[in-house]
Amino acid sequence: MPVPSQLAGPLEVLRATAEQIALDPRYHDLLTLVKGARNGAVYGAKVRFPHALVIREKTGLVFRATKTHASNLARFAIVYKSTCLLLKYLANGKEGPYDSFLGGLLGGYLVFGGRTRSGKISSVSMQIVIYVFARVVLALAKLSVKPGVGLPIISQPELSKTISHYAWPAFAAGSWAMVMHVFRYHDAEIQSSLRNSMSYIYVQSDHWDSLRTLLWHNK
């Protein structure tokens, strides 16, 4: 059985060869795939796993965000329901077809449409509104092809079934196509946390100066 000293020579040669390949310009484009996959996996793990480990450090931030979230939803519920009740009262107890729309419009403007004292949009409000918007877009897309409810022609049963089958792959592909295009040419317009994560995965993966910074650590 070889002893460690006997293995040192071959291992050093292997390491030197790997280092040479890592820094060879001929393999750079191919190795960006390796680096990109590595950064994607690392970032995914960094986002998901450490939350429980840093909760003490983030307690204050979590509490403030939770308080803002709860307060916003409570205030929205009050405005929305009050508006709907008022409109129903003005219509002699009969609910109108647009009462919920008007209640949501007023609540959204008063509760989620405001800015902080510094003139910025609250990050919590922005997250909630974007979440709601995404769900509305998906719901409207489903309604558009729903037989008896949706748009003419595309809501016909057979065509609706075909569209529904391919809608999600097309939506996923289009969403990623657009975000990658915007990130490539107008990255300043992308929300900062998303921009940072995309930079880590897709830009920083193009650069390394050793085998270590290729596989283990960013440059």
Distance CA 154, CA 166 (A): 13
CA distances from 211 to 2, 34, 42, 137, 168 (A): 26, 12, 17, 45, 40
Mean pLDDT of 63-72: 80
pLDDT of 175: 92
Range of lowest pLDDT (17-21, 72-76, 133-137, 211-215): 211-215
Count of CB atoms situated within 10 Å of the CB of 152: 6
- What total of structural domains would you count in the chain? 1
Which pTM was predicted? 0.67
- Domain-located, residue 48: yes
Q: Which residue has the higher pLDDT, 4 or 133?
A: 133
Count of CB atoms situated within 10 Å of the CB of 148: 7
- Domain-located, residue 150: yes
The range of the structural domain enclosing residue 169 comes to 30-211
Mean pLDDT of 172-180: 93
DSSP at 122: P
pLDDT of 1: 47
Q: How confident is the model at residue 119 (pLDDT cuts 50, 70, 90)?
A: confident
HSE, CB side, 13 Å, CA atoms: give it for residue 52: 3
Mean pLDDT of 97-110: 95
- Domain-located, residue 219: no
- Domain-located, residue 133: yes
Q: Which residue, 8, 6, 31, 29, is CA-closest to 19?
A: 31
Mean pLDDT of 86-90: 94
